[in-house]
Chain A
Amino acid sequence: MDLTITALLAQDGITNGAIYALLALALVLVFAVTRVIWVPSGEFVAYGTLTLAGLQLGKPPGTIGLLVGMAIIAGAIETWSCLAHGQTRRLPRRLLLWTGVPLAIAGLVQWLAPLQPPFAVQIALALAAVTALGPLLYRIVYQPLAEASVLVLLIVSVAVHFALTGLGLWFFGPEGSRTPPFSGESFRIGDVIVSAQSILVVLTSVLLIVALYFFFGRTLYGKALRATALNRVGARLVGISPNLAGALTFTLATLLCAFSGVLIGPITTVYYDSGFIVSLKGFVGAIIGGLASYPLAAAGALLVGLLESFSSFWASAFKEVIVFTVIIPVLLWRSLTSRHHEEDE
């Protein structure tokens, strides 16, 4: 292995690692605020790529059907809960939010898709369509279970993963898709060829992470989410609605997943069920950060990317085995360094 190959592998690893880092951040965020171990995050990655691929072909993507279906279910649940609690006056606003907005996004995508708008607009549409699914999922599945134990929420997440994978097959079909690269150019730094695509991916990830940092550090909503993560009851007592916090968290996290999907599209062919393995790599990164630390989770994800790219060179048949086995030494180390074993909530 000479320097050129090393540099190439490192570049691959960092590019993939940057994408896993976005996922790892989404997973830590969702777990911190809602205690949900968000196994189905991968499905949103796949949806992101497949939606963009559909728009590339000028076809209305399968996401529209999913969005319309979930918007109707969420609207029905809201109607039912408003009527059951005698809050009919709140109903129009809630229906507008939970059904109107998603339907408007679906309509916009449906209308613009055949017009083949510029690439940037396509990306924006794909992100909007996929991101809108996140809060709907929270409303339909997780909000009624907000008080459940971590264990129940985890089993629910796995069930959602099952359902969304099957729905992915239905709405996007069994064919894989790849999206064109953002840029075909490459340039040399010394002996090393660096592709503009890799740089774009890494830059986008870094920008998103910085944006998140400012969101949590500077904005009221960001601070509200941090407060909820630190102390759910306390946050509730000072007027932060847990439902709002949950829906907002799922919106942000789904956006991060959809972005990962857009970024990973040019790198690998994505099928309806490819997301699971991708998101698990994010999980490995998040576990390295103890499911609590954002910087450690991002660093862990980067490590996973590098490990994956180097092991695909040395022992490509065992690539996945190696990547998923890394968590064993990580867990061993964590287990040996914690004295009192921890309690669940």
Chain B
Amino acid sequence: MRALARVSLGRAGFAAVVVLLAIVPLTTPPFWVTLGNYIGLYSIVALGLVLLTGVAGQTSFGQAAFVGLGAYTTAYLTTRYGMSPWLTLPIGLFITFAVALFLGFITLRMRGHYLPLATIAWGISLYFLFGSLDFLGGNTGLTGIPPLALPGFELKSERQFYYLIWAIALCALWASNNLLDSRPGRAIRALKSGLEMVEAFGVDAARLKIVVFVYAGLLACVSGWLYAHLQRFVNPSPFGINQGIEYLFMAVVGGAGSVWGAVIGATLITLLKQWLQDLLPHILGRAGNFEMVVFGVLMVLLLQRAREGIWPWLERLLPKRASPPVPNAPPLPARHKTTRQGALLEVDAARKQFGGLVAVSDLSFEIRSGEILGLIGPNGAGKSTMFNLICGTLPLSAGDVRFCGASIGSRQPYEIARLGIGRTFQHVKLIGSMSVLDNGALGAFLRSKAGVLRAALKLDRAEEARVKAEAARHIARCRLDAHTFDAAGSLALGRQRIVEIARALAADPLLLLLDEPAAGLRYLEKQELATLLRSLRTDGMTILLVEHDMDFVMGLTDRLVVMDFGEKLAEGLPAEIQKNPVVLEAYLGGVA
């Protein structure tokens, strides 16, 4: 009952914002309506940056150029060819899509700093291009842009336009919020925690980053289209690099982690700029862009002291939304499990060299269906390197790895995940701010289909319910149901390792790879882990366990492969390995 009240309070809050927005133009002088229009236009752009910067961990200084692209496309086509503005919007979106796709493709496969640098260059290029192309009117720009018209009436006054801008802004907020709470959204939120993790669940991280960049570009383009028809003229000056930087400031000030941060940031920066431009000339006795100094200093202080922006502070004041209960939904379709006879995975003379160092030297072994195989060895033996060769995180120098008879030696990690190999990480990689349930749901990424569009329009709810139900089932199977709605980061290390196993299980793998799952666990936690792994084996799961804790491995595994200095030292049943003199020598430095 109380939870219900809280949810409706959240709805009431949203309704209050809408009512407030609706009455502003009716009660305030035109000056405030104009400001409200700009805040709406900027919010749309900043929203894209919230997703790109705050959520996906990338950034762009070139959003003003995308705004310009939207504005100039409609300005040119409507004034020169008399096209309807409703037709120029899709054309502008298409051009933006193509440009963003291209820029994203060439920069987002590399390290994070290439995109911002490329967007600075592209922002400046486009700005100069607008100013020097004669058919776009050079620095004077284009005038006489027709107003937007609906059948029956034209949107000529600022007040009318206000409602259109904010209707679009609220739709964009709604869609972006939906997107974040969905299958692609979980993957986008996971991007910041490292690409290795998302790729292990079948996410093509480079593609996803490009998708977010394109999404942000399209929002900027819509804002530009609105701007052109609001102002009825365009020139290059509002699309320069400084405006692009201010858009980023808005997203950062507001709080780049939440969609509402975009509106807060756009409002604050716009009002502050307005106020400073009135105030500073009086104080300083000189005219000039001195608000830049204030903005710059404020940003530095903010990033030094409160990197999350203003929204988290406001959020704390709002009533907390209760988590909705796990929906009761049918299970997701499971992988067709043929009982393969013999080897599920074959490692055939795998080799990995780092310069002159041979970390894994022509190692061969196999994992049979339904067994727990332990890969053990002293520190530095090359176990983790071997593990990464199987997952595709590291490319092989020579040799091959076959899974179900097919070579996976040169596949990307997300392709290997698709074939049915699940994994955990030696250093736990969960998204600490997300609930255990959402972390688990990320594991089921490959078993669901919803794309960005379906998610944004909230058409994915039936599938989403099944994903959540599936994740909850695996969390319960790992006996973590008491923590389903806790933030993953709030759990103890031992529990976090189990969450990683639940997440891997949600992917319905044929083979589970565990990288030192017992490291840093206490005695009781280790026993719980061993019980869980045994029960998984009983259910038919095949497991590769990389460990250096001999006691943990001995009672649990069916067979052992021992590595030392990148080579296979021994292979056999745990009892045989325990007596093997070569192994004892490697571990204890000689038999006494």
Chain A: residues with CB nearer than 8 A to chain B? Answer: 37, 39, 141, 144-145, 148-152, 154-156, 158-167, 169-170, 174, 276-277, 280, 283-284, 287, 291, 317-318, 320-321, 324-325, 327-328, 331-332, 334-335, 338-344
Contact = CB atoms under 8 A, between A and B. Distances in A.
Given A150-B111, A152-B307, A287-B117, 7 more contacts: A37-B113, A141-B300, A141-B304, A155-B248, A162-B299, A291-B113, A342-B110
Contacts, number: 151
B105 interface: yes
A156 B304 CA distance: 9
For the complex of A and B, the 4 pairs showing the least CB-CB separation, nearest first, are A163-B296, A159-B299, A166-B293, A162-B296
11 contacts: A144-B304, A152-B303, A159-B297, A162-B295, A163-B296, A163-B297, A170-B288, A321-B128, A335-B106, A340-B395, A340-B412
B431 to A, nearest CB: 16
Contacts of B129: 318, 321
A159 B57 contact: no
Interface string B160-177: 000000000000000000
Interface string B394-438: 010000000000000000100000000000000000000000000
A166 B294 CA distance: 9
Given A318-B132, A325-B125, A334 B292 contact: no
A206 to B, nearest CB: 27
Contacts of B105: 335
Contacts of A331: 106-107, 110, 114, 118
A277 B303 contact: no
A320 B125 contact: yes
A154 B296 contact: no
B275 interface: no
Contact of A163 (B112, B121, B300, B395): B300
B355 to A, nearest CB: 14
Given A141-B300, A170-B290, A321-B132, A334 B122 contact: no
A169 B287 CA distance: 10
B290 A166 contact: yes
B125 A324 contact: yes
A328 B106 contact: yes
Contact of A162 (B106, B114, B292): B292
A161 B120 CA distance: 13
B303 A145 contact: yes
Contact of B117 (A164, A283, A343): A283
Contact of B300 (A150, A159, A334): A159
B432 to A, nearest CB: 15
B258 to A, nearest CB: 17
A324 B132 CA distance: 15
Contacts of B290: 166, 169-170
A287 B117 CA distance: 9
A151 B295 contact: no
Contacts of A163: 292-293, 295-297, 300
Nearest to B61: A158
B59 A151 contact: yes
B59 A167 contact: no
Contacts of A37: 113, 116-117
A283 B292 CA distance: 23
Contact of B124 (A148, A149, A324, A328): A324
A82 B384 CA distance: 44
Contact of A338 (B109, B249, B303): B109
A343 B192 CA distance: 10
Contacts of B124: 277, 280, 320, 324
Contact of A327 (B111, B118, B196, B295): B118
A14 B296 CA distance: 35
